Amino acid sequence: MSARPTGAAASATAASAAPASAGSGAGPPSSLRRLRQACRQIFGIPDYERYLEHCATHHPGEKPLSKSEFFASAIDRKYGKSGPRCC
């Protein structure tokens, strides 16, 4: 049976086992973020982060909608009378 490290040795072992992006604080890795965006597009879920990126790129002088306004607008577009309908 092997001995478990204690004190500083345990901290060093735990730090070396952690993923490199774990402490960056920059959000999920880009591949995970792309996967999340793809799933949202497939299932028709509005993506607020993507909307903010679009606004910053294409409409830099305009104030973007708040998160609640964005989702309310998305629901209205999807289920409102002027939205896409099959019948």
Residue 82 or 24, more confident: 82
Where residue 23 falls among pLDDT bands split at 50, 70, 90?
very low
Whole-angstrom CA distances from 51 to 46, 56, 65 are: 9, 9, 9
Residue 15: both structure tokens together:
């730090």
In a domain, 78, yes or no: yes
In a domain, 67, yes or no: yes
Domain count, the chain: 1
Collapsing DSSP to helix, strand or coil, 63 comes out as coil
In a domain, 61, yes or no: yes
Residue 42 or 22, more confident: 42
* Among candidate residues 27, 64, 26, 72, the one with its CA nearest the CA of residue 46: 72
- pLDDT over threshold 70, residue 1: no
Range of the domain at 55: 48-82
What is the reported pTM?
A: 0.53
In a domain, 29, yes or no: no
